Structure 1
Amino acid sequence: MEKSFSRSSKIAQELQKNIAIIIQCLLKDPRFRIIITISEVIVSKDLSYAQVFISFLEINNNVSIEKLLTLLNKASGYIRKLLCKKLKLRIIPNIVFYYDDSFIKGNRISLLLNKLTKKTLFNKG
Structure 2
Amino acid sequence: MPSRDFKRTDRVGAELRREIGTLVHAAVRDHGLPSCSVSDVEVTRDLDWATVWVTALLPEQSKEAVKALNELAGEFRRTLSRQMRLRRVPEMRFKYDDSVDKGERIDHLLRENPASSSSEDSDD
Give yes or no for TM over 0.5. yes
Shift of 1:58: 3.1
Question: 1:5, CA displacement in angstroms?
Answer: 1.0
| Gapped regions of structure 2 (runs ≥ 5) | none
TM-score, normalised to structure 1, is 0.84
Task: Tell me the equivalent position of 1:44.
Answer: 44
Q: Does the residue aligned with 1:89 lie in a helix, a strand or coil? A: coil
**Please, which of 64, 74, 94 is the counterpart of residue 97 of structure 1?**
94
Matched residue count: 119
Q: Give the Cα separation in 1 of the matches to 2:85 and 2:57.
A: 31
Q: Cα deviation per residue 1:28-70 (whole Å; 9 max; x = unaligned)?
A: 21125x2x221111000010000000001236x8xx3222211
Q: CA deviation at 1:111?
A: 2.3
Give secondary structure in 2 for the equivalent of 1:4: coil
RMSD over aligned Cα atoms:
2.2
Give the match for residue 32 of structure 2: 30
- Give 1:112 shift: 1.8
Q: Is contact 2:27-2:33 (8 Å) kept?
A: no
State the one-letter code of the partner of 1:2: S
2:10 match:
9
CA contact (8 A) 2:77 2:91 kept: yes
Runs of 4+ in 1 over 4 A off after TM superposition: none
Percent of residue pairs identical: 27
Question: Once structures 1 and 2 are overlaid, which stretch shifts more, 5-14 or 102-111?
Answer: 102-111
